[in-house]
Amino acid sequence: MSIGNFVRKRKYLFWSTKNYDGLSNVAVVEAVLNYGDMEDVRELISLLGIQEVAKIFHEKTNCARVNYDQKIVHYFSLFFQKYAS
C-alpha cells in the first residue's frame, strides 16, 4: 500500500487537502499521531516502519514550534522509547 492509498482510506484525518498523493511522510505521521486511532498508528507503522515514524516524530518534536498536542508528545515519546529503541 502506498502513502496515497493509506491517506485515501482515512480522509477524515486529512480534511484540509484533496491532494493525497502530494502529502509528505512528515504530514501523514503528524496527522495520524495527533488525530488517528491506534489502528491507524499500527497501519502507518507497518507501512513506513517504526524506526522511520519514530525518527520523524522526534525530529518534529525537537523544534521550536511543535504541532503535536502535549499529551500526544508524552505518550509517543514513551511508546517510541520502548518499541523503537
Q: How far apart are CA 78 and CA 19, in angstroms?
A: 32
- What is the Cα–Cα distance from 12 to 16, expressed in whole angstroms? 10
| Number of domains within the chain | 1
Segments forming the whole domain that contains residue 70: 3-83
For all residues of the chain together, what is the average pLDDT?
Answer: 95
Each residue's pLDDT, cut to its tens digit, for the chain (85 residues) gives: 889 999 999 999 998 888 888 999 999 999 999 999 999 999 999 999 999 999 999 999 999 999 999 999 999 999 999 999 8
